[in-house]
Structure 1
């Protein structure tokens, strides 16, 4: 697939899935804007892309979101693809004293920033008949783990936001889809995987056993799916959620 002369914004592009997406788009010829909050990590990924625009930004800050869109369009002249990837999760029980604080933080990061950046980018995407891909999670479709109500709700909302905006923007020629990964081997996951569970196995082994295929995805696999959905090969696909979870949702073991 070629993305020559296509302009792409990837939020959360300094590590994990976002970094893999940015690197793959760049390798396919796209002009990529990558955003992140960690300058060292952002610069490291920028070195792996061809002439990228790297913007240090916090997606929970409205002015930063405006700056991302404005600087991208000013630098590259247009916008073709928006990848709403940046997200986070914080543990909290609904009974916790900090339940609403965690809820607000997670929703602002995972949902509000996605909504607002889409709002800002949409006029530019209409001009190019571009497309949007939201990185969600299987947690939007199932309850995975305890004390994760805020994250689960945020991803369920991202899924329905995807459908809603896909319906609205279809008449303007803009496609909107969602990729919903299960557990993915990324920088943060590798650190967490060292934690031993009560069953005496690593977190990584525990999650692997919960998938039907008995494997976990790598970030490159998610990037491959994203590039397909952003390409002309997927020109008839909009308003869809694409699960990439190695059979986590259908495992019956």
Structure 2
């Protein structure tokens, strides 16, 4: 897929989709920058990448995307001298009805899911112009469809989808592509951020097998493979796309 030697930043690489994405790029012999807040989990991702490819070049940056966007880009350039792919994967969610949520909750979700992506994109764009690289944002089916009790999360992902399309148009004259993936329910630890117990999550996973037309939920690798595709020359005529990886959930209506 022409990703050998490409410098790729993956935010939120310490678990779930981010960890699987880092491993997928390691398989492609890319130079992978792993960023996240949990150093121990980042090291676990590092070990998994090296298990796939013992010669892969990796850079670990312990950082919070809401405060360290400039640091992440600068450290990458200082190490590798270029940037080819930015994967904005780090995400955060909180639940609650509009009757219950407060401004602090709104700010926390929007700061991680929208503001940090803006900052990382802003700092990365000049370097991506030099390499004619690309950006892949990790959105959600919640950006395409509405669900009760998670209004702020849905709003943040809808904003990310629109940001993806707008920045794709801004950067198209520079031959820099910008796309997004919109996962359905993927089995990760992301649910913990919503304060859901493991027992309730297990029930939700079972229920979700009935709400995804393919009759099952997804795995992180399935999203990672789509991200690698969008980052590669195999998708060279795609930009501004929001690609559902959701077993068909975005195509359904309640009945």
Class of the TM-score when normalised by the shorter of the 2 chains: over 0.9
Corresponding residue for 2:94?
Answer: 90
How far residue 245 of structure 1 moved from its aligned partner, in angstroms, is 0.5
Q: Is the 8 A contact 1:92 1:102 kept in 2?
A: no
Alignment of 1:164-243 (within 5 A): 164-189=166-191, 194-196=198-200, 202-243=203-244
How far residue 99 of structure 1 moved from its aligned partner, in angstroms, is 1.9
Match status 1:124 vs 2:127: yes
- Corresponding pairs, count: 246
Cα distance in 1 for partners of 2:106, 2:189 equals 24
Unmatched tracts of structure 1, length 5 or more: none
Q: Is the 8 A contact 1:193 1:204 kept in 2?
A: no
Alignment of 1:135-150 (within 5 A): 135-144=138-147, 146-150=148-152
How far residue 4 of structure 1 moved from its aligned partner, in angstroms, is 1.0
Unmatched tracts of structure 2, length 5 or more: 50-55
Q: Is the 8 A contact 2:132 2:174 kept in 1?
A: yes
Q: Is the 8 A contact 1:35 1:55 kept in 2?
A: yes
Match status 1:25 vs 2:25: yes
How far residue 227 of structure 1 moved from its aligned partner, in angstroms, is 0.6
Deviation per residue, 1:189-248 (Å, 9 max, x gap):
599584248xxx811111111111111110000011111111111110001110011011
TM-score (norm 2): 0.92
Q: Is the alpha carbon distance of 1:133 and 1:78 closer, same or farther for their aligned partners in structure 2, counting shifts above 3 Å?
A: same
Deviation per residue, 1:65-116 (Å, 9 max, x gap):
11110110111110000000000101122122x4211111100010000001
